[in-house]
């Protein structure tokens, strides 16, 4: 599974990255988590508000930090 956190490196982007890593670890899912800070790459996903969560190249959330329960569901749905 490939997970990307899109954002400029703001506090919310970092919080989303930590929360995502926590959920992946708790679920025992084999996933690569990548931080994408390049604005052109972020815009390529059609995302205009960060942070954004991309799982297996599908935008799952943007402009907010999903709860850990929501992250768990989003990750399990793609596993």
- Give the residue numbers marked as catalytic: 10, 13
DSSP β-ladder status, 32-36 and 2-6: parallel
Find the angle CA(77)-CA(28)-CA(70) to the nearest 5 degrees.
40
Among positive and negative, which fits the CA dihedral 66, 17, 28, 60?
Answer: positive
């Amino acid at each position: 599974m490939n997970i990307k956190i899109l954002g400029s490196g703001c506090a919310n982007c970092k919080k989303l990255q930590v929360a995502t890593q926590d959920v992946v670890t708790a679920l025992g899912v084999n996933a690569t988590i990548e931080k994408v800070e390049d604005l052109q790459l972020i815009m390529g996903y059609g995302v205009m508000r960060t942070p954004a969560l991309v799982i297996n190249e599908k935008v799952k959330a943007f402009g907010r930090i999903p709860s850990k329960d929501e992250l768990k569901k989003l990750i399990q749905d793609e596993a």
